[in-house]
Structure 1
Amino acid sequence: MNNNRGWIFARRINRNLFRLVLLILTSILSWGAMVLPIAIRQPIAPLQIGDVASQDIQAPYDLSYVSQVLTDQARQDARNRVAPVYLPADPAIARRQIEKLRVTLNFITNIRFDTFATPEQKFADLSAIQDIQISPETAEAILELSDSRWQTIQQESLSVLEQVMRRTIREDQVEDARRSIPTLISFSLPEDQAKIVAELVTPFVVPNSLYSAELTERAREEEARKVEPIVKTYLAGETIIRRGQIITPLAWEALTAYNLIQPRSQQENLLAAFSLIGLITVFTGLYFNRRKMPLVENLKGLLLLSITFLIFLYGAKIVIPNRTVLPYIYPIPAFALSLASLFSLEAGLIFPMILSILAAYGLPNSLDLTLYYILTSMIGVLVMGRGRRIANYFWAGVAIGLSGTAIILAYRLPDTITDLLGIATLSGAAFLNGLASASLTLLFQFLFAQLLGITTALQLMDLLRPDHPLLQHILRTMPGSYQHSLQVSNLAEQAAEAIGADALLTRAGAIYHDIGKSLNPSFFIENQIGNKIDSHDDLDPEEAAQIIIRHITDGVALAQKYRLPRRIQDFILEHHGTLITRYQYSQALKAAGGDPSRVDIAKFRYPGPPPQSKETAILMLADGVEARARAELPKDDEELRKIIRSVIEYCQKEGQLDNTNLTLRDLSLITESFVNTLRNTYHPRIKYPEIKTPQQAGTAEKETASVESSINQPTEPLKSNDDH
């Protein structure tokens, strides 16, 4: 006994240690999702110059500050107003250009007087001059001029260039100076010779007043220094920037002046996230310690919950930041619906709330997103209920869409930035969220149920369909046992409902608990004809007991053949626990002269195990109570309670309820539920008189007498179907 207690204590220590380690690991990984945003978010950080503001930002108080942005802009405008500064006209440039023209004219004169050169060579020499490009027509005219005319052209060219270069010519004035050359040529020259002068002078006109970058920059700086610093003023409540606008340097400066976007150090981010994760970890630990719900006791379920929680959380940190519509599509309600359908309503309300807080943490619109996720998840879970129909999931999706739209309207209608098209888009995203959540829940429910060995409500409803192949099989082969199973299922379902156990699972388990009898239905008393009851007293008690016990193993084999869920197989294995077939054992004792040492009790004991859950324990009690009540036919509530209490006390004495967590209050509620159900089953009925014609009266009297005679005949006492 002490060893058994030590083993139970060690097992509890291991389970608690596993839960603690899992909670710490999940918290650390959740903290990582909060403090490592660079690795999982978009590279563009929010609230930088050039980004789009995600919300309206107003001045929290009156403030005047020197705007460096406005001051720099005004000083730059002053600089731009300063014209470029040029140096005075340089006479040396004019002399140099006149000298170049003189050298060029002398070279042309030499070409003209070269008696040894052919005309083609002279043309080639004229085209080879570097400082001037002489056209073929001009070259031909120059070579044909007389010496006096050429002399006149030379003098006029030098005179015109000197006049042009006496002016101040800047870089942007060169073309104007060159266009003025024809007006400076003497009108005494013929037009063709004037063109020669213009063509010779034009290339030598260059700027003689150069740009001074130093003087220009000095003048600009002088003008910039004259600009006074500009003070920017905001009043409390004045909008600094509206949602949807580009963050300009001026807006960024204002936000910085108010310390609204003061950059935080990494240590502050770590501490902030650690504070939130620490609080949630403490809350979860206290919740696990206070609430002994099935999910807390299911270690595989807790592991799967943690993995799914982290997948949803990291997915949210990848998808949601820096997005406008996607946050309202992200299907966090699918996490809630999956927990509610697999475990309990409570799990579907608590853990998604934690996920919603962490998923929206750190976002500009974290408040409305957090409420959006929490409320849509809760409403979806409440509308879905136990999820016994596909329609429940559809309406849950619709409820998520409607509630999400309501939240969007509540937060976006007062926002003047969001137009009707934006509200319609976000509302459509909310309905898409509902559809995606309902669809993912059906997928997750199937996958997780397979991994955890959990039987979902949809599976149970499918098992309870009258056209299920196994139900059809037992209905055809053992109608009596089927009716017994129906009555037991009614008893067990109502009792499970009374103590808060899984009523649907209990009903399905009760329907299938005796399927093993279908392989040998005629052996069991409920399948025998009323006037041809076979008590099997001619069989060896040990052999009869083995045949009866075999319906457990046969039932498991049938359940596996028809792929019944593991939880339903538990009902088959545990509904008799490790009790004995009392009638056969008593017969064996009689045959052994009342000496227990001559009878091997193990051969009369069911293989078990004893019930491991409230649901299978309820089935054991309902099975025994229904059989006793049908055999003894109690006349009032007091006799019913006596039968029920005797069954419960017997099971307690045999240790069959030790692993079920049933409390005394649960047993009291079960007793009252059994009484109420059986009272309705065995209540007296009114016998309605039959109206007969005179011709039928005589025949009816004969038939009545015959029936009364057969009823009054003594019959052999019936045995409980626990034994048969």
Structure 2
Amino acid sequence: MSSSLPVAASSRRAAGKRPALLQPLLDAPVWFVLAIVLLTSLLGLRFYREPQLAIGKRIGYTLLAPKTMDVEDRLETEKARLDARRNAVQIYSLDPQIEAQVHDSLDDLLTEGDQIFATAGSLPYIDTGILASEAQRYLRAMPQATWLQIKQLIGSPTPPAQLSGLTPIERQIFGNLNKNRAGNSDGFAALIERIERARLAYGQAIARLRTAPLVYQDRLLDLSPDQWKQVTQQVQLVTRRLLAMGVIPGLPQPLRESGVMAQLPTSFNVLQRRLATDLVLSVLTPNLKVDRLESFQQAERTAENVPTVRLHIQKGQVLLKKGEMITPRWFDILDRLQLTQRGVNWLELLLLVAIEAVAFAAFLIIDRRLGKACLCRRDYLLTLVIALFTSGIGVIIGDSWGWGGFLPFIAAGLWLGNFYGSKRGSLALLALAVPFWYGLKIPFTIFLPVFIGGLVAALLVGRLRSREEMAFLGVFAAAVQGAVYALLTVVFSNGFEWGELFVHTLEMAGGGLVCSIVALGASPYLERLFDVITSVRLSELANPNRPLLKRLATEAPGTFQHTLFVANLAEAAAQCLGDNADLVRAGTLYHDIGKMVRPRYFIENQMGLPNPHLQLDDPWRSAAIIRDHVTDGLKLARRYGLPQVIQNFIPEHQGTIQIAYFHHQACELVGSDNIREEDFRYPGPIPQSRETGLVMLADACEAALRSLKDVTEGEAVAMVQRILAARWREGQLKDSGLKEEELPQIARIFVKVWKEQNHQRIRYPSASPKTPEYQVARR
């Protein structure tokens, strides 16, 4: 299926003309010259005042200062300001959310410690007159085997050899308990029971401590309850102080530890200090975040305060010696001194003009040889606008190729491919790309990705039929643009960082995506402004919910049904012949809209009602009413903003054929010699494109095909061929591009569609079981 614009363009020229090789240039000299002038004005900007003493060149003589003056050293100034920005103090702000999270985490952690102490039980758990507090702490943590040994020895004759295996504190515990048993034998059992309960609670606390946070394990219960209480109070106080002062991200661990310990009281023992420090550090999180806006503003203020670096140059001072290379810094200084010898580079400028001329001439010549149609003036104008837009963005970007992803080749590819078809769109994009690259001297790794992204868009967009598909194609083309950039960078770059490559790849893909969004948003406006027909627009125009088609279906239902059948016939023929079926269908749906003005004057809308032509009894008036449905249709088409190529179907489908019925009536009334032929003919023009020619043939055959009953396929084809041959003999198709040898094929297609829409249906039996049809159906 051919693209829409070439078909639209074919409706503007007669068929059968074979242009010579240079004929395209002769047909469009104004556009050819205008394109070269305008694009040279944009792409050749750098050649108008090109310096002879450019960066990277070696000077052939010793360059002396022509006068005494102070010159701003902009590169050194910018370097100093850049250093000032980098070294500017960052501005931090407190994050209250992090502060709340730290307090919550600390509360949970301290609650866990309190619960472990509560499980272990209080100290002392027996009278300190029996055992001191330290001895009680040791007793509850004593190994079970040692405790059982001590219990066996209490109250029994104790040889010194059995006590030698105990530690001093264990012997002390044994002596005190043994002494208590001897002095208070009645309460000794209760004393042992309290000790057992304390040991059991301590064992449960130890078990819980094994699953507690690591900061507690193996040392929490070494503190006394009073010591733990002091630790919790100081941990909360120190945490609040540090958060109030602000914790900077990235602070080294030794500095954080020393900061916490400096806040602790000197009365803490080593274990208390270590545990308190670890508790604070385990929950402490940096609560200062960089305030990007304030830091940026501070950096800019710092940079603004850097004084301008100026060079004092004396007249006759040696600026550059012979053979020295011109660096960017010295080029800027020489340029401010007007010593770079700027002027028009006529050689480069003429070479750019030659490249443009060859590229555009090749485009025009190949465009003529692509097939059915070439571009018209409006198409040249739109193509030039797209080329100027693309070139203008390239000039604006200038040497800032970090923004190269925003070169709108994807947008140009989507527009050109959608408006002119994939072949012409790709060809136009290539014709633009060559002078674009030469004029702007874009780095290879930047130009090739954006060009390939645009080429992918131009090649694939011609197959699409909806805006949604175009949107997804834009995403795909942007991804291709980013991927090609990454591949070229990896292959051709001497050194790169993967992080920077990832960021730049995203920038390239993001720039392509922005360009595709711009193309998608601007497409409807360009289509309307330049009256461009695309497949997407044709699909929208063929939607039966369009206001004009809904009016046609409501106000002239018979005409609407006639239109649908004609559209089916013509569309099938267009598909088989390789013409634009989308254009044929859309144009056919609107070809008879003028009948809405006086619907009852057309037989398909009378529906058994009286024929108003009988009341007129005037063939001249009746013929004028029938003929006026063309002019009425054009008025409606303009009012509803239909494209010109769709409007062409309204007069061209009738051409200049005769309104035969009323012409015959008039001849019977006054004789054929007294009749003006133009009173009974449509005004024309005859079909100017294959598409409108197919609609004329389908319209002529529609009524005849509907009237056929009980005929063979061969008879139907023969009848249709006679109708088509009559139109050919009348000369109605001579400018359409259709060929006489195609008429038999068109006739067969029409009959095939007619057969498909008028196939024989099953005759359903009567509901009564006694009828023969019912019995046959049962068998």
Q: In which range does the TM-score fall when normalised by the shorter chain? A: 0.5 to 0.7
Contact persistence 1:333–1:352 (CA under 8 A): no
Deviation at 1:391, TM superposition (A): 0.4
Deviation at 1:644, TM superposition (A): 3.4
1:269 to 348, 353, 365: 348
Question: 1:532-566 CA distances to partner (integer Å, 9 max, x unpaired)?
Answer: 68595673332322222222222223333433333
Aligned to 2:681: 605
**Residue type of the partner of 1:432?**
G
Q: Which has the higher contact order (CA 8 A, sep 6+)?
A: 2
Question: Tell me, what secondary structure is at the counterpart of 2:28?
Answer: helix
- The CA distance in 2 between the partners of 1:295 and 1:433, in whole Å, is 33
Moved more, 437-446 or 364-373: 364-373
Deviation at 1:473, TM superposition (A): 1.7
Deviation at 1:567, TM superposition (A): 2.8
Deviation at 1:268, TM superposition (A): 5.0
Deviation at 1:400, TM superposition (A): 0.9
Alignment of 1:58-137 (within 5 A): none
Alignment of 1:616-631 (within 5 A): 616-631=692-707
- The CA distance in 1 between the partners of 2:710 and 2:395, in whole Å, is 65
Aligned to 1:647: 723
Contact persistence 2:619–2:662 (CA under 8 A): yes
- The CA distance in 1 between the partners of 2:384 and 2:714, in whole Å, is 50
**Residue type of the partner of 1:518?**
M
Question: 1:577-596 CA distances to partner (integer Å, 9 max, x unpaired)?
Answer: 1111112222322344xx42
- The CA distance in 2 between the partners of 1:19 and 1:338, in whole Å, is 22
- The CA distance in 1 between the partners of 2:501 and 2:634, in whole Å, is 57
- The CA distance in 2 between the partners of 1:693 and 1:43, in whole Å, is 105
**Residue type of the partner of 1:280?**
A
**Residue type of the partner of 2:552?**
I
Question: 1:118-147 CA distances to partner (integer Å, 9 max, x unpaired)?
Answer: xxxxxxxxxxxxxxxxxxxxxxxxxxxxxx
The answer to whether residue 321 in structure 2 is matched with residue 312 in structure 1 is: no
2:649 to 548, 553, 571: 571
Contact persistence 1:381–1:396 (CA under 8 A): no
Contact persistence 1:313–1:358 (CA under 8 A): no
**Residue type of the partner of 1:547?**
I
Aligned to 1:429: 507
Contact persistence 2:422–2:460 (CA under 8 A): no
Contact persistence 1:640–1:675 (CA under 8 A): yes
Alpha carbons of structure 1 residues 334 and 498: separation in structure 2 relative to 1, 3 Å = farther
Question: Tell me, what secondary structure is at the counterpart of 1:431?
Answer: helix
2:358 to 273, 279, 286: 279
Aligned to 1:395: 472
The answer to whether residue 5 in structure 2 is matched with residue 23 in structure 1 is: no
- The CA distance in 1 between the partners of 2:365 and 2:518, in whole Å, is 30
Deviation at 1:599, TM superposition (A): 2.3
Contact persistence 1:575–1:611 (CA under 8 A): yes
Alpha carbons of structure 1 residues 400 and 691: separation in structure 2 relative to 1, 3 Å = same
5+ residue gaps, structure 1? 50-245, 250-262, 702-724
Deviation at 1:667, TM superposition (A): 4.8
Alpha carbons of structure 1 residues 364 and 425: separation in structure 2 relative to 1, 3 Å = farther
Contact persistence 1:317–1:359 (CA under 8 A): no
Deviation at 1:511, TM superposition (A): 1.0
Question: 1:200-225 CA distances to partner (integer Å, 9 max, x unpaired)?
Answer: xxxxxxxxxxxxxxxxxxxxxxxxxx
Aligned to 2:113: none
Contact persistence 1:579–1:606 (CA under 8 A): yes
Alpha carbons of structure 1 residues 27 and 672: separation in structure 2 relative to 1, 3 Å = farther
Question: 1:92-140 CA distances to partner (integer Å, 9 max, x unpaired)?
Answer: xxxxxxxxxxxxxxxxxxxxxxxxxxxxxxxxxxxxxxxxxxxxxxxxx
Contact persistence 2:600–2:612 (CA under 8 A): no
2:666 to 584, 588, 598: 588
Question: 1:298-323 CA distances to partner (integer Å, 9 max, x unpaired)?
Answer: 1222133224323422432342x422
Contact persistence 2:367–2:374 (CA under 8 A): no
The answer to whether residue 737 in structure 2 is matched with residue 658 in structure 1 is: no
1:685 to 760, 768, 777: 760
Moved more, 518-527 or 484-493: 518-527
Contact persistence 2:721–2:743 (CA under 8 A): no
5+ residue gaps, structure 2? 1-12, 59-326, 331-341
The answer to whether residue 425 in structure 2 is matched with residue 336 in structure 1 is: no
Deviation at 1:494, TM superposition (A): 2.3
- The CA distance in 1 between the partners of 2:406 and 2:691, in whole Å, is 39
- The CA distance in 1 between the partners of 2:506 and 2:684, in whole Å, is 55
The answer to whether residue 592 in structure 2 is matched with residue 514 in structure 1 is: yes
1:632 to 708, 712, 720: 708
- The CA distance in 1 between the partners of 2:712 and 2:444, in whole Å, is 61
Contact persistence 1:491–1:677 (CA under 8 A): yes
Alignment of 1:106-505 (within 5 A): 266=345, 269-270=348-349, 272-291=351-370, 294-296=373-375, 298-319=376-397, 321-361=398-438, 366-414=443-491, 415-505=493-583
- The CA distance in 1 between the partners of 2:674 and 2:424, in whole Å, is 54
Alpha carbons of structure 1 residues 323 and 619: separation in structure 2 relative to 1, 3 Å = same
Question: 1:668-717 CA distances to partner (integer Å, 9 max, x unpaired)?
Answer: 654454343233223x424254373537x49999xxxxxxxxxxxxxxxx
Deviation at 1:40, TM superposition (A): 9.3
Find the structure with the greater CA-based Rg. 1
Contact persistence 1:573–1:609 (CA under 8 A): yes
Alpha carbons of structure 1 residues 284 and 386: separation in structure 2 relative to 1, 3 Å = same
Alpha carbons of structure 1 residues 276 and 460: separation in structure 2 relative to 1, 3 Å = closer
Q: What is the CA RMSD across the aligned residues, in angstroms? A: 4.0
Contact persistence 1:542–1:588 (CA under 8 A): yes
- The CA distance in 1 between the partners of 2:344 and 2:773, in whole Å, is 103
**Residue type of the partner of 2:428?**
F
Deviation at 1:327, TM superposition (A): 1.6
- The CA distance in 1 between the partners of 2:25 and 2:721, in whole Å, is 36
- The CA distance in 1 between the partners of 2:406 and 2:682, in whole Å, is 54
- The CA distance in 2 between the partners of 1:570 and 1:450, in whole Å, is 16
Question: Tell me, what secondary structure is at the counterpart of 1:659?
Answer: coil
**Residue type of the partner of 1:638?**
G
Contact persistence 2:663–2:680 (CA under 8 A): yes
Alpha carbons of structure 1 residues 641 and 429: separation in structure 2 relative to 1, 3 Å = farther
Alpha carbons of structure 1 residues 550 and 276: separation in structure 2 relative to 1, 3 Å = closer
Deviation at 1:469, TM superposition (A): 2.2
TM-score scaled to structure 1, two decimals? 0.58
- The CA distance in 1 between the partners of 2:418 and 2:717, in whole Å, is 36
Deviation at 1:620, TM superposition (A): 1.0
Contact persistence 2:31–2:381 (CA under 8 A): yes
Alpha carbons of structure 1 residues 322 and 665: separation in structure 2 relative to 1, 3 Å = farther
- The CA distance in 2 between the partners of 1:355 and 1:699, in whole Å, is 74
Aligned residue pair count: 478
Contact persistence 1:396–1:434 (CA under 8 A): no
Aligned to 2:307: none
Question: 1:588-640 CA distances to partner (integer Å, 9 max, x unpaired)?
Answer: 22344xx4212222211112222222222221111112222112348344334
Question: Tell me, what secondary structure is at the counterpart of 1:340?
Answer: helix
Alpha carbons of structure 1 residues 372 and 646: separation in structure 2 relative to 1, 3 Å = farther
Alpha carbons of structure 1 residues 427 and 48: separation in structure 2 relative to 1, 3 Å = farther
Question: 1:11-38 CA distances to partner (integer Å, 9 max, x unpaired)?
Answer: 9999964513422342344445454415
**Residue type of the partner of 2:728?**
Q
